[in-house]
Amino acid sequence: MTATATATAQAASSPAASAPRWTTEALTGLFELPFNDLMYRAQHVHRQHHDANAVQRSTLLSIKTGGCSEDCGYCSQSAHHGEARREALLDVGDVVVAARAAKDKGATRFCMGAAWRGPKDKDLDRVTAMIGAVKALGLETCVTLGMLKDGQAERLKQAGLDYYNHNLDTAPEFYGQVIKTHSQDERFDTLDKVREAGIKVCCGGIVGMGETRRQRASLLAELANMNPPPDSVPINELVPMPGTPLENAAPLDPFEFVRTIAVARITMPGSMVRLSAGRQQMSDELQALCFLAGANSIFYGDKLLTAGNPEADRDEALFARLGLCAA
């Protein structure tokens, strides 16, 4: 790498904090590196912090689908535009059946998602029972329930919750063009509550919504500058859902998606980077490049929340071809 590229790519360190502070400019510099240089750097960082051939697998279940009050422009579950049928909160028994099936297929974490702006206290009675039951199967637990009120994160922690997923979704400069019913600051507030309750943070975003490269860099800088960075970072490629304002968004250049994974890996070396939504539309070769760029986790199972995901058999075959093992 040239000296200039190294300088551009360097984190701007603040003398006050020991954690490096990443600037959008520094991350844009990484995005602009020749593809081979970027991949080399990402793979180098990846190997210093992780087993290069191990990929963790989480299975998702929508425990409360559709009818959400929020207007997130990508989401099929928004009451404003989404086409997902509104359903009631699942029973604990149904969740246990799905979790057992996920474990039998090889998942190590079970993530339960609800189409809420945030849970009511009475909703948490059932969700905490779900967490306890899934944990009793020997799976790690994760939930994504929207924004939390005071005391709710503590209840989830007490139930045995390992991870809370709550994404920043996009750059602060672009956020208002995609979501109007809540602000990104409100999401930071929930992330603080989660961390303070001692729950691990799963936080990432979506690319391919019409944002610029600089805005992708800005999202990743926000994530990397969290102190500490999220334990797990889902990078979703927009799945254009019928009826949503983003259903006709122009697809992202696949190499730009790989670059996004690589920049996440370089700037959040210790985090698990999850190749998340959008895999069903990706070729095996593109997914292999994402693993080379430092992705070491996937959503596993034929459904995300409402959208499709590759069949477990296709993933097994891909893992075998690439010599990847389950983490």
**Peptide bond just before 251 cis, omega within 30 deg:** no
Interface pick for ligand DTB out of 305, 310, 315, 324 (rule CB under 6 A) = 305
Applying CB under 6 A, which residues contact ligand SAM?
Answer: 74-75, 77, 113, 115-116, 144, 146, 166-167, 169, 206, 236, 238-239, 241, 277, 305
CB of 38 or CB of 148, closer to ligand SAM: 148
Spell out the SS3 assignment of 263-298: HHHHHCCCCEEEECCCHHHCCHHHHHHHHHCCCCEE
Query: Is residue 68 close enough to count as binding ligand SF4 by CB under 6 A?
Result: yes
Q: Under a CB-based contact definition with an 8 Å cutoff, are residues 57 and 326 in contact?
A: yes
Beta bridge partners of 56: 297
| CB of 29 or CB of 146, closer to ligand SF4 | 146
Helix (H) or strand (E) holding 236: strand 232-237
CA pair distance 52, 54, nearest whole angstrom = 6
Whether the Cβ atoms of residue 77 and residue 130 lie closer than 8 Å to each other: no
> Contact letters (x/-) for ligand DTB, 172-211, by CB under 6 A?
--------------------------------x-------
- Cβ 236 to ligand SAM shortest distance, Å: 4
In angstroms, the CA 17 to CA 33 distance is 27
Let me know: does 66 contact 85? Beta carbons within 8 Å: yes
Interface mask (CB under 6 A) for ligand SF4, residues 134-163, using x and -? ------------x-----------------
Nearer CB in complex with ligand DTB: 24/165: 165
Q: Considering 41, 72, 155, 187, which one is annotated as catalytic?
A: 72
Segment lying near ligand DTB (by CB under 6 A), choices 23-31, 34-42, 231-239, 255-263: 231-239
Which DSSP helix (H) or strand (E) runs through 7? helix 3-9
Among ligand SF4, ligand SAM, ligand DTB, none, what does residue 142 contact (CB within 5–8 Å per kind)? none
What is the rounded distance in angstroms from the CA atom of residue 145 to the CA atom of residue 121?
Answer: 12
The residues that are catalytic are 68, 72, 75, 111, 142, 202, 274
Task: Please report, as ranges, the residues that interact with ligand DTB according to CB under 6 A.
Answer: 60, 76, 113, 144, 165, 167, 204, 234, 236, 239, 276-277, 304-307
